[in-house]
């Protein structure tokens, strides 16, 4: 006799001394037929009401599962829904163009994802409602194809008899812009942006090389404007009132502080600093390959220019500059200038000139900008390239281009940084 191990489906029993067989006889388990699940697989879908499409108003979208006992989960951010997504409990509010993606879930089974794209063709008004410190260009747009946009700027409700939007709308005072989209004779609901401009300076505060006539304006009808130019805080009792059409001549660096007063109520103080450089150097400060003959000019009527080239600050005892003459600058030097007008003496203005005589290496040519400043060039192949950065500041009242990190010395050393329209010579004023 011998001990035998009998195996059954899913179980092993070890018999010791309980079940025995003869030496020539063994037993084997009877094969079990596989179990086939004949239960139909659960399928479901989610429908949208209204159906996806283009609409001229915000939409409340119903999500309807084909099996009313199933749970529905959805997203509106473009991601695929899961059971961790938002559980549908009521209409989904869509105020802007976007996707709704939904699934239905029952007894652990999940349906395929239903996707609905809803194009809400309401007009978009930019900039949005807010307070701004300068004039704004308001743009209108819509995602509805082949649609027209009608708008008003007087606070009234636009209709198909209102202005048709074709280009940006300039807004220089507090304005309510209302707009509608019209497609196939159907009008959208109204989109609104309230642009509040409490106070503006024209031109905007900044740096200039000529006298500026500054106009102050307010976005609220009935406001009276009071201002100072001596740095003090204006009040309705101590400073002058001006109309929006009047201009303040600014011929030196000046800070204009202003307030508005209406019905006894006074605004906060608005501040605009105008940096006026009354002396211009031609050519401008920079790096040159050869000696330069510098001419000076001032916007101060009746002013006398005094200058030095030895590094000291000029006084009325320094060399007088005669209009039309040139100052030869032949080595690294700083030209310093003041303007004296009667008993008034300006601050010191200076221009640093550096000379690098390129005597070895490539052969350089030169090119001058409109201000007369010379730049070295080099021929590569059949093309002539500038071998140093452009430092031209333009000929208008407002310099074009900027200095790296706002440091004027960077402009002198490395040239100016320009926007694409400035580089292409496009008038962006």
CATH of the domain at 148: 2.60.40
Same domain, 144 and 206: no
Q: Are 151 and 218 in contact (CB under 8 A)?
A: no
Same domain, 138 and 97: no
Same domain, 140 and 88: no
Indicate the residue among 134, 163, 196 that finishes a domain: 196
Same domain, 52 and 113: yes
pLDDT tens, residue by residue, 78-110 = 999 999 999 999 999 988 788 999 999 998 899
**105 inside domain:** yes
β-sheet bridge partners, residue 151: 163, 179
Q: Tell me the pLDDT band of 263, cut-offs 50, 70 and 90.
A: confident
Structural domain of 51: 46-120
**304 inside domain:** no
**3 inside domain:** no
**20 inside domain:** no
Same domain, 108 and 172: no
Contacts of 84 (CB under 8 A, 6+ apart): 73
Contacts of 298 (CB under 8 A, 6+ apart): 278, 279, 280, 305, 339
Q: CA-CA-CA-CA torsion for 119, 122, 125, 129, nearest 10 degrees?
A: -110
Same domain, 68 and 105: yes
**149 inside domain:** yes
Q: Tell me the pLDDT band of 178, cut-offs 50, 70 and 90.
A: very high
Helices (H), 63-114: none
Count: domains in the chain: 3
**420 inside domain:** no
- DSSP states of 243-260: -TT-EEEE-S-EEEEEEE
Indicate the residue among 196, 225, 246 that finishes a domain: 196
Q: What percent of the chain has pLDDT over 70?
A: 86
Indicate the residue among 166, 196, 226 that finishes a domain: 196
pLDDT tens, residue by residue, 208-228 = 878 889 988 886 767 888 999
Distance CA 84, CA 50 (A): 25
**377 inside domain:** no
Mean of pLDDT over the chain: 83
Same domain, 267 and 208: yes
**Count of CB atoms situated within 10 Å of the CB of 311:** 10
β-sheet bridge partners, residue 364: 378
Residue 171 phi/psi, 5-degree rounding, is -125, 115
Closest among 36, 29, 38, 35 to 9, alpha carbons compared: 29
Q: Tell me the pLDDT band of 358, cut-offs 50, 70 and 90.
A: low
Distance CA 385, CA 375 (A): 11
Same domain, 227 and 177: no
**94 inside domain:** yes
**Mean pLDDT in residue range 134-143:** 88
- For residue 72, what pLDDT is reported? 96
Same domain, 134 and 87: no
Same domain, 171 and 156: yes
């Amino acid at each position: 006799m011998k001990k035998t191990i009998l195996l059954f489906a899913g179980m092993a029993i070890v018999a010791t001394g309980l079940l025995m067989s003869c030496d020539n006889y063994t037993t084997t388990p009877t094969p079990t037929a596989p179990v086939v699940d004949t239960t139909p697989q659960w399928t479901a879908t989610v429908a949208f009401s209204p159906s996806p499409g283009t609409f001229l108003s915000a939409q409340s979208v119903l999500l309807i599962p084909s099996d009313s006992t199933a749970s529905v989960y959805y997203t509106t951010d473009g991601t695929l829904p899961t059971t961790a997504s938002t559980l549908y409990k009521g209409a989904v509010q869509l105020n802007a163009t976007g996707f709704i993606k939904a699934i239905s879930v029952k007894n652990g089974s999940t349906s395929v994802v239903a996707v609905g794209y809803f194009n809400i063709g309401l007009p978009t008004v930019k900039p949005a409602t807010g307070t701004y410190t300068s004039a704004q260009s308001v743009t209108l747009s819509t995602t509805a194809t082949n649609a027209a946009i009608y708008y008003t700027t007087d606070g009234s409700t636009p209709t198909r008899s209102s202005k048709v939007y074709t280009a940006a709308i300039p807004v220089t005072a507090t304005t309510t812009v209302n707009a509608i989209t019209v497609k196939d004779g159907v009008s959208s609901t109204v989109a609104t942006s309230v642009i509040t401009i409490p106070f503006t300076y024209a031109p905007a505060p900044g740096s200039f090389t000529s006298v500026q006539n500054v106009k102050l304006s307010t976005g609220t009808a009935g406001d009276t404007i009071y201002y100072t130019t001596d740095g003090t805080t204006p009040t309705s009792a101590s400073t002058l009132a001006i109309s929006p059409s009047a201009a303040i001549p600014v011929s030196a660096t000046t800070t204009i502080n202003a307030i508005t007063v209406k019905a006894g109520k006074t605004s906060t103080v608005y501040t605009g600093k105008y940096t006026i450089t009354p002396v211009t150097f031609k050519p401008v400060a920079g790096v040159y390959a050869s000696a330069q003959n510098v001419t000076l000019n001032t916007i101060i009527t009746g002013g006398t220019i005094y200058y030095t080239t030895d590094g000291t600050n000029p006084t009325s005892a320094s060399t007088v500059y005669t209009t039309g003459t040139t100052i030869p600058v032949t080595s690294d030097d700083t030209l310093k200038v003041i303007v004296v007008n009667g008993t008034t003496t300006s601050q010191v203005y200076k221009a640093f000139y550096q000379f690098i005589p390129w005597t070895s290496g490539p052969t350089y040519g030169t090119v001058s900008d409109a201000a007369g400043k010379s730049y070295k060039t080099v021929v590569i192949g059949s093309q002539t390239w500038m071998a140093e950065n452009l430092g031209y500041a333009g000929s208008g009242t407002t310099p074009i281009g900027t200095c790296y990190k706002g440091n004027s010395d960077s402009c002198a050393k490395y040239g100016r940084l320009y926007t694409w329209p400035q580089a292409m010579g496009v008038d962006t004023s």
